[in-house]
Each structure stands twice: as C-alpha cells, then as structure tokens.
Structure 1
C-alpha cells in the first residue's frame, strides 16, 4: 500500500469539519476572496479595491444611527397581488420567497433615530428584495417615511437601491412615481429638507422619480446610476458611451449630484448636512 493510500485511510476515519458558507466573500470589484469578518469590520467595503458592497436596511441603520436611537417604523399594509399576476411563477410566491430570504416585508424599510445627535427619519431600499423594485408597498412606505419626518420636524433621508418599477404590479407600480413626488412637496411645504443617498444600483422608475429630487444629492463611490441601460442608449444615439458613463463620478463631474462620499465618511457627512439645514432642531 502506498503512503498516499495510507493517508486516505486515516482521513476517512477523521470527521470532516464543514467550512461555513459565509466564511469568505468574493469581491465583485476585484474578484479577491475576503474574510467575511474583515469585510464586516470595514463597513462592507473591500479592503483591497475599495468596492462598496450592497447592504440591506438593518446593516445600514447599524452604521448610521447613534447607539440605541434607532426605531423601525411598521411596514404599511397594501394589497399584495392586485393584478393576480403570474409569469413563470405566481407573484404571491415570489413575494413569499423574497420575504423568506430577506426577513423584510418589502423592499423599503424606514426608521427614526439620531445621527450624531441630529434627528432624522431614514428610508433604505433593499436591492436583495426583488431587486429593490418599486411597487405599492415601496410607494406607501416612502409616504409613511415622509409623514414620520413631518411629525418629527426633521429631514427625510432616502437610500436608493433599485432596478426600477415592479412589473408584476403594472400601472399601479408606475403610479408610485407621482405619489412620491407629491409626498416630497409635502415635506417642502413643511419647511423640511429631503436628502437622497444614491447607492449601487439605482435605476428605472426610481431614478426617474424620488431618487433625483433631493435637496441634497449624495452618492456612494462607483455606484451605477441610470434610467435605462447602456446598450439601449448606445443603440438609440448610435454612439459609443464613455467607460465611466452612469457612475457616481460621472454624475458628479456633470453636475447631476452634489457629492460622492465614501461609506466610512457618510455618517459624519450626513450629520454635517443635517446640522446645516436643521441646526435648531437637534435632538436634546
């Protein structure tokens, strides 16, 4: 018997230790494998290439809010399948699968709290929930977030991450665009600021609605920001677009947003902006 077979026989009697599936993370920016704990400690920013990974509402709230100040707003109740839609799967089955995978009722979650002592209501879209798509639940949650900000006399800050309107809700999804616009006007009528933080990716109907209506427009680095896809635009205008087209940096260079802020600096920058705009409303 060779030494290799001997080793195999020994190993066959040794219980195998399972490697946890969440021990390593492959960076979408550089393709390197990163120890998941190292990524978490770095705010889900790749320590090798600085790629900003997508994060959900709970992690975003944890990074932003002062300790013990965060209180999530209840999710609004809306008709779940108004069109009785079915493609390869029933819409209600897709919703169940998304809820099981993300532990949220839909793609937009609101919370009130303080950021370095400044009162805010923050809404976070979760791209992991059906691509952050905008349907009745997202539109209603947006309005509830605005109403909460008005009640608290503080800004409403929205973190956008969406593939656009939710096709399974048809025209009802598209109607959330004017509804959100009216809600923003309500906020302005109350003399309160509306702050947008664009994250990767933000596109479609969300980009055409509340994502680009902020009094202050902030974006995370290298986020994809677009109404429609590159190939559609290139085939329409019959021209080759720049490589950095539809990125945060391109938008900043062309005056479409106010600033690009690294995730490590975002909490302090938001506190500064809110302090300038609502300094007299700082929490006790």
Structure 2
C-alpha cells in the first residue's frame, strides 16, 4: 500500500466524515421559538433570557438554588411495595418504573431535603416532572407525608415545589388514597403552627391540585405555570365554550384569587426568605447582609412505619415516563 492510499485518501475522507453533535446544545423557547445555548439557559436558572419563559428546572439545580450555599441533606424516604396491582397497559408498570429510575437516577417523583434558606432551617419537598410526569403514587405520597413529619419533629417550615400531571393511574385507588393521607399530615403541621408554603410550577394538575398543592398557608406560582384540575382542552370539550385567554395560567389565577403571588424564579429564594420571616415573626435581614447560617439541628427521626405496616397500609411505588391523571 503506497502513501496515496494510506495517508492522502484518509485525510481527504476525513473532510466528509459526519461529526456527531449533542442534540441538546441548543434549546428552543416554546413561547417565542428563540434558540438558546444550553449553558446560557442553565446559568440563567433555566429561564429563557429573551422571553422570560420558565423552562422545567432539573432537580439538582432547584435544590442548589433554594438552600444557602447550595448545601443540603437529602433525607431517606420510606419504601413501599412495587406494582401492587400488577398493572399492565401497553407495557408492564414495572418496566415503566425501571425506565424512569434509569432515566432520572431517582426512586420516584418526590425528593425531600433539609438545610437552611437565608439562615432559616427548612424542610423542602420537590416533585420532579421528569419522573413519570411527577405523578402521585404511593411512594410520592409517603415522601410528602414523611417530609411533613420531619418538619413537625424538627419544628421547621415545610416548603413544597409541586409539578405533576396528577395521580398515577397504574396504582388506581392506592394512588388516590394519597390525597387524604397527605392532607392529614398537613393538618398536623398547621395545628403545630408551622408554615407550609407551596410553590406551583409548570404544570400542576389533577389530584395534586385537588389535595396538598392547594392546602398551603401561602401559594406562590412561577410565571406562566399551568395550574388546574382538568386540562383546558377537556374543559372546553365539556362545556363547549371557548375559554378566556391565559385560562389556568399563573397570572390568570393570581388575578382571580387562586394564588397569592406570581414570583420570577430569580426572586424565589429571597421571596421565600422574607415570607418565612413574616410567618415565623423573625426580624427582616438588613439589605445586603446575610448572617452566617444557623446550625441545623440533627433531625429527629420522623415517625416511620415498620415495613410490615407500610406494606399493609400503603401500596407500592410506581414509576413511569408519563403520568396520566386519574379523575
């Protein structure tokens, strides 16, 4: 083989070789069609710089944006039975769960953490829409209840970031059962005089909206978030009328008294800090002054049921890529 075939020909061929590029380098704004470089979007808190559209925020970024210095402790969550109904539609429920866990690296849709927010110890629960549409199943219900019990045991405010398509249909009545269970846990928190603040993100719908997402002492919504029980299309088809512009969006709900505030994501942490100081009767921070965080007390173990009791009272934890709401 001579130098033409061994050197020149490969060099020429390399010019025509198609190079693989990541598919997510540029992200399109759903509102304006603007293309944004993914690093710029990430640095801007997943808010499109031009339009201000709030994209869905990944769980690690959300946690880092809320806690002081991005430092927090993830709390272990109770385990529940898997696929208690042996459900199967186009695919087995167990397969959907396995895929969602592989995709997100988490066991289910709700994560609970503790730390400080502008020096105030808090307990935070976050629903991740990436895990089967943030659907509410047994595992998610247990996590929210455990978060409320942890806040109660440690006497901290409880903040919940809601993002869900509703109840998880693969768990049927066991999913719907989580609505009264979470409500009972939040009533105990209210009786203890501890603040419960809900941040409604896009979207918050179905059984989640019919339970813990609308039971907060204060309801904050991110701009443009879709909030409601049934979707706008279902409502239009039912009543056979055209809905108002912006129906079920955060700003529309604010104008009609359904939410207390619509807060830009960049202002979320400072707004939560001021709000908690008012609810806890603490003095406001001086402008530009952020004292050293208070020591976060070691959490007392939140009351957790024995495995046998959990298995008998709460069914299994579901997992999926999309989570249809159960009406």
Post-superposition Cα deviations, 1:64-94, rounded to whole Å, max 9, x if no partner, equal 1112530011132001111000111110100
Equivalent position of 1:212 in the other structure = 214
Unaligned regions of 5+ residues in structure 1, if any? 1-7
Contact in 1 for aligned 2:64/2:70 (Cα 8 Å): no
- Structure 1 Cα separation of the partners of residues 153 and 190 of structure 2: 13
Normalising by structure 2, what TM-score? 0.81
Task: Name the CA shift for 1:75/1:29 in 2 (closer, same or farther; >3 Å).
Answer: farther
Contact in 2 for aligned 1:56/1:125 (Cα 8 Å): no
TM-superposed CA distance for 1:231, in Å, is 2.5
Task: Name the CA shift for 1:251/1:68 in 2 (closer, same or farther; >3 Å).
Answer: closer
- Structure 1 Cα separation of the partners of residues 70 and 43 of structure 2: 20
TM-superposed CA distance for 1:239, in Å, is 2.1
Equivalent position of 2:202 in the other structure = 200
Matched position secondary structure for 1:225 = coil
Q: CA RMSD in A?
A: 1.8
- Structure 1 Cα separation of the partners of residues 99 and 249 of structure 2: 31
TM-superposed CA distance for 1:177, in Å, is 0.4
Matched position secondary structure for 1:139 = helix
Post-superposition Cα deviations, 1:152-176, rounded to whole Å, max 9, x if no partner, equal 2111100000000000000000000
- Structure 1 Cα separation of the partners of residues 250 and 184 of structure 2: 26
Count of aligned residue pairs for this structure pair: 277
Contact in 2 for aligned 1:75/1:105 (Cα 8 Å): no
Post-superposition Cα deviations, 1:100-151, rounded to whole Å, max 9, x if no partner, equal 1111110000100111111111111011100000000000000010011112
Equivalent position of 2:155 in the other structure = 153
TM-superposed CA distance for 1:11, in Å, is 5.2
Contact in 2 for aligned 1:154/1:278 (Cα 8 Å): no
Equivalent position of 1:82 in the other structure = 84
Unaligned regions of 5+ residues in structure 2, if any? 1-8, 284-292, 296-327
Contact in 2 for aligned 1:63/1:267 (Cα 8 Å): yes
1:283 lines up with 2:294 in the alignment: yes
Normalising by structure 1, what TM-score? 0.93
Runs of 4+ in 1 over 6 A off after TM superposition: none
TM-superposed CA distance for 1:16, in Å, is 5.2
Matched position secondary structure for 2:280 = helix
Equivalent position of 1:5 in the other structure = none
